[in-house]
Amino acid sequence: MPSGLGYTAPVTVTDYLIAIGLSLAPVSELRGGLPYALAQGLSPAAAFFLAVAANLLIVPVILLFLEQTERVFRRWRPTEQLMNAVFARTRRKGRLVERLGALGLILLVAIPLPGTGAWTGALAAALLGIPIRRSLPLIAVGVLIAGVLVLFASLGAFQLFDLS
């Protein structure tokens, strides 16, 4: 952890793996991974690259394998109910994409709030039938914008609370 005494413990492999895991996870995404990486002592550039790259890793998987995954999860009642809830929420968020098209998909991913991000954007694109070759670059732009916003907000919070 960063300390006010000028000493920072070396960043461990575990720190990297946790930052990657947080950035891949559907709830935290890079909103959790990037601040965590900064708090562990990664440089802003390294934390940004790590969180954005990890967050983008899941997008092609969702876009390519959503139908197969859905078929498997719909075999069991508890996971079917979970899928129904996730898809209903995504369809509500997808209205932005339906109204604004490409800009809507970018905004859905770029606004770093709960219920938005790469997971929601990829699910919305898949559910709305947007081809991968069109949706993937738009989602990537959204992730980059979200990364910049989260980076600036995190660095501001570190300065505000003197955590550096």
- The DSSP secondary structure of 78-106, one letter per residue, reads HHHHHHHHHHHHHHHHHHHHHHHTHHHHH
In this prediction, residue 17 carries a pLDDT of: 97
At 8 the three-state DSSP class reads strand
Distance CA 15, CA 35 (A): 12
pLDDT at 164 (0 to 100):
56
Task: Tell which residue, 127, 64, 66, has the closest CA to residue 95.
Answer: 127
> Which residues are within 8 A (CB) of 158 and not within 5 positions of it... i.e. 6 or more apart?
2, 38, 164
Look at 8-12, 85-89, 150-154 and tell me which has the smallest mean pLDDT. 8-12
> What pLDDT is attached to residue 4?
44
The confidence band for 1, taking pLDDT boundaries of 50, 70 and 90, is very low
Q: Write down the pLDDT at residue 3.
A: 46
What is the average per-residue pLDDT within 78-100?
90
Q: Are 141 and 106 in contact (CB under 8 A)?
A: yes
CB contact at 8 A, 27 and 58: no
pLDDT tens for 111-150 read 988 889 999 999 999 989 999 999 999 999 999 999 999 9
The 8-class DSSP code of residue 10 comes to P
pLDDT at residue 73 in the model? 87
